[in-house]
Amino acid sequence: MASDIVEWVRGALKPRLHFILAENLLHCGCYRSAIKQCHRGMQCNVDDTALLSLQQMILQSVRAHFERSGETPPEPLESDQEAWPDAGLVRRECYPWNQIEPDRFSQESLDFVNAEMAKCAPKLEVKAVDLPALTADSEEKISKQLGVFAKEDLNPGEIILNETSLLTANNRLQDPLCDACGVDIETGRSDSSAACEECYTVFCSDECLEAANESYHAAVCDKDVDSLARDVPPAQAADSLYLLLLLRSLAMAETQDTHPLNLKELKFIWGDYHAIPLSKHWQAFTPTNPFSSLPRTLPFNFSLSVELPFHILTKMDVNIFTTFRHYDVWIFNTLYAKFRGTASARFSKAAQATGGLKLGRKMQGPEVSAVHPCWCLANHSCDPNVGWEWGGKVHFKVRESRVEWKRQSQGKGETKVQNVPGIAKGKEIVNHYCDVGLKVGDRRAWAVGALGGNCRCERCVWEAGEE
C-alpha cells in the first residue's frame, strides 16, 4: 500500500512540482536551472504537455536574451546549456511578514547600537541622518538612515574605530587564515595559533577559538562543510563569499539558538530594500507580470539561494522541514540583501605575496570577507574623511588630507579640495565603498550595488555638474 502511494506521488505530483520550480526560475531569469527542472519533471512523464510547453517558453527566453545582449549563442541552442545565463534577479524588499526587522530609529535601537559602538569606537556615536534617496523607484526625495558622528574633535591620523567580527568568510582552502576573525596566520608564528581538537580547524589564538565555540563553531564542527565554495573560479569568487557568509550566519543562529535575522551582527543592518510601499503598489502576479511591476535588484541563483543553503543546514543536522520559521528562502534573501550592501573584502596575504597566483593560476576577485556591524553604519562619500584597513580587525583612521575634486566646465578644467584637517565634533564620519581615485561615472558604476543607486555625494554632484 505504501509503495502504491509513493508511485502515485511520483507520477502525479513530481512533474507538477518541477513545473512550478521551472516556471518561477524562468521568471527570475535563471534559464539554466529552469531547463534542468523541466527535464527532471519530464523524466517522470515525457509527454507532460505543460512541461513541453514550458520548455519551449524557456528556449524562446534564452534566444531573446542572446539577441538583447549581443552575445553569440551556442548552435544549436540546446547543445550547450552550460552557456545559458543563470544569474537571475528578484525583489529586494523587507517582506511584509518579516516581524524581526527592527525600527532602526527607535530610541531602544539607537541605545543598543550605540552601546555596541562604544565597545570599538568610544569617540563615535550613531544617530539618524537624512540622505538623498538614490533608488529610481523611490517616491521620496530623502532617505532616512543611520549615520556615525564624532562625539569630540578628532585629529588627523587618529584611529577612531577598531572592530573585530566573527561574521567572516574565506574561499581559500589551504591558506593559513583564522577561521574566526579572518586574520592571516603568519608562517612560522604558529606558537600563538590554536586548533579545534575535534576537527582541526585553525584559529589565530585561544581567544578566537573560545569566541568561535561560543558563537558558531559548535554547529559546523566536523560536519564536512570545510571545502564548500572554496578555491572557486575567479568569476565565482564574490558569490562564494556571500554563500560562506550565509553559512556562518546560519551556524551562528544555530549555535546561539536564535533566529538568523535576530543576530546582533545583522539585525540593525539595512538591506537596501526598494522604497515602494507594497500596500499601495502591489498587484496580483500574472504570467506576463510575475513580480507585480516591482523592481528586481537582488541577485538570485537557484543553487546559491535555495539548494546549497538547505544542503548546508542538512549537513548541520538541522531538520529543514520543522525549522522553516528560522530557515526559509525569504530569510536567505534577506540575509543576502544585508550582506551585499555591507560586506568588505580583500585578498589574503598569501595571494598578495605570490602576485595573486595559486598553483600557477592567476587569482582574481576577493578571497576574504566580513560584515563589521559598526564599521558598515558609516555612510558613503567619494570625499571620505576616514580611511579604512581590514586584517582581522577593521580600523577607521582620520585622513590627513582629502581627495581633490576635478571636473570639466565649459571646456576648462576645475579643481576643488575640502582640505580641513581632522574631524570636528558633531561632524559625520563618511567612509568610501569604491576607489575614490576614479572618475565620477566609474565611481558611480562601482558603488551602485552597495548604494542601490547613483551616488549623490557632494563631490559626485559637483563633478557631474548636477548642482
Answer whether residue 426 is part of any domain.
yes
pLDDT tens, position by position, 254-303: 999 999 999 999 999 989 888 788 877 778 888 888 888 888 889 999 99
Q: Is residue 189 scored above 70 in pLDDT? A: no
Grid-cell match 562619500, residue found: 381
Q: Looking at 346, 371, 396, which one is the last position of a domain?
A: 371
Same domain for 341 and 386, yes or no, is no
Domain stops at, among 371, 388, 420:
371
Instruction: Assess if residue 69 is contained within a domain.
Output: yes
> Residue 163's beta-bridge partner residues?
394
100 belongs to a structural domain: no
Regarding whether 223 and 285 lie in a shared domain, the answer is yes
Query: What is the signed CA dihedral for 215, 219, 223, 228, rounded to 10 degrees?
Result: -60
Average pLDDT (433-440) is 86
Q: How far from 212 is each of 195, 208, 216, 222, CA to CA, in Å?
A: 11, 6, 6, 14
Would the pLDDT of 182 be above 70?
Answer: yes
Same domain flag for 177 and 276: yes
Clarify whether residues 10 and 116 are in a common domain. Answer: no
Classified as helix, coil or strand, 422 is coil
Percent pLDDT > 70 in the chain is: 90
So what's the pLDDT on residue 454? 83
- C-beta of residue 423 within 8 angstroms of C-beta of residue 385: yes
Print the domain residue range for 299. 107-371
What is the domain-level CATH number for residue 410? 2.170.270.10
Same domain, residue pair 68 and 177: no
pLDDT value at position 190?
56
Q: Do 29 and 85 meet the contact criterion of CB atoms below 8 Å apart?
A: yes
- Say whether 402 sits in a helix, a strand or coil: coil
For residue range 90-101, list pLDDT tens digits in order: 999 999 999 999
Q: Say if pTM beats, i.e. exceeds, 0.75.
A: yes
Domain identity same for 351 and 259? yes
Give residue-wise pLDDT tens across range 127-171: 999 876 665 555 566 778 899 999 999 999 999 999 999 999 988
Say whether pLDDT at 359 is over 70: no
Last residue of a domain, one of 348, 371, 394: 371
Is position 93 within any domain? no
95 domain-assigned: no
| Judgement on whether residues 6 and 54 belong to the same structural domain of the protein | yes
Q: Three-state DSSP class for 155? A: coil
Quick one: DSSP state of residue 151? S
- Roughly how many angstroms between the first and final C-alpha of the chain, as a whole number? 76
Q: Which three cell numbers stand for residue 222?
A: 566536523
Report residue 248's pLDDT band, with 50, 70 and 90 as the boundaries: very high
Domain check: are 364 and 439 in the same one? no
pLDDT tens digits, 378-413 = 998 989 999 988 878 899 999 998 888 888 776 677
Give how many domains the chain has, as a whole number: 3
Shared domain for 341 and 406, answered yes or no, is no
In a domain, 173, yes or no: yes
Looking at the structure, tell me whether residues 276 and 170 fall in a common domain: yes
- List pLDDT tens digits, range 118-136: 999 999 999 999 876 665 5
On whether both 291 and 387 belong to a single domain, the answer is no
- Asked if 413 and 445 sit in the same domain, the reply is yes
- The H-or-E segment that residue 195 falls in is strand 194-195
Residue 354 clears pLDDT 70, i.e. is over it: no
Q: How many CB atoms lie within 10 A of CB 150?
A: 21
**pLDDT tens string 413-433:** 788 877 777 999 999 999 988
Q: Over pLDDT 90: what percentage of the chain?
A: 54
